[in-house]
Amino acid sequence: MANLTGLLFAGGLGFMLLSIASGLDFGAPPMLVGSEIQAQAPQQTGAVNIVTSVVLGYRAIDTLGELSILFAAAVSAGLVLGRRHTTAGTQSRGGFILQCGGSLLFPLMMTIGFYIIFHGHLTPGGGFQGGVILAAAFFLPLLARPGAKLHHQSLSLIEGFAGASFILIGLLAMLEGKAFLQPMLIQDTLGQLISAGTLPLLYLAVGLKVGAELASLLSRLIQTEAPQ
Which of these ranges, 51-59, 88-96, 97-105, 141-149, lies near another protein under the rule CB under 8 A?
Answer: 51-59
Q: What is the full DSSP assignment across 93-145?
A: PP-HHHHHHHHHHHHHHHHHHHHHHHTTTTSS--HHHHHHHHHHHHHHHHHH-
Q: What are phi and psi of 221, to 5 degrees?
A: -60, -40
How many beta carbons lie within 10 A of that of residue 162, not counting itself?
Answer: 23
Interface with another protein, residue 175, by CB under 8 A = no
Which of these ranges, 96-104, 109-117, 119-127, 140-148, lies near another protein under the rule CB under 8 A?
Answer: 119-127
Q: Please state, in angstroms and rounded to a whole number, the distance separating the CA atoms of residues 202 and 170.
A: 9
83 alpha carbon, distance to own chain's centre:
26
Q: Which is nearer to another protein, 144 or 214 (CB)?
A: 214
Which member of 85, 107, 178, 192 binds another protein (CB under 8 A)?
A: 178
Interface with another protein, residue 123, by CB under 8 A = yes
Interface with another protein, residue 193, by CB under 8 A = no
Which member of 114, 128, 139, 203 binds another protein (CB under 8 A)?
A: 128
Which of these ranges, 15-23, 88-96, 105-113, 141-149, lies near another protein under the rule CB under 8 A?
Answer: 15-23
Interface with another protein, residue 78, by CB under 8 A = yes
CA-based torsion, 178, 184, 187, 188: positive or negative: negative
Interface with another protein, residue 73, by CB under 8 A = yes
Interface with another protein, residue 191, by CB under 8 A = yes
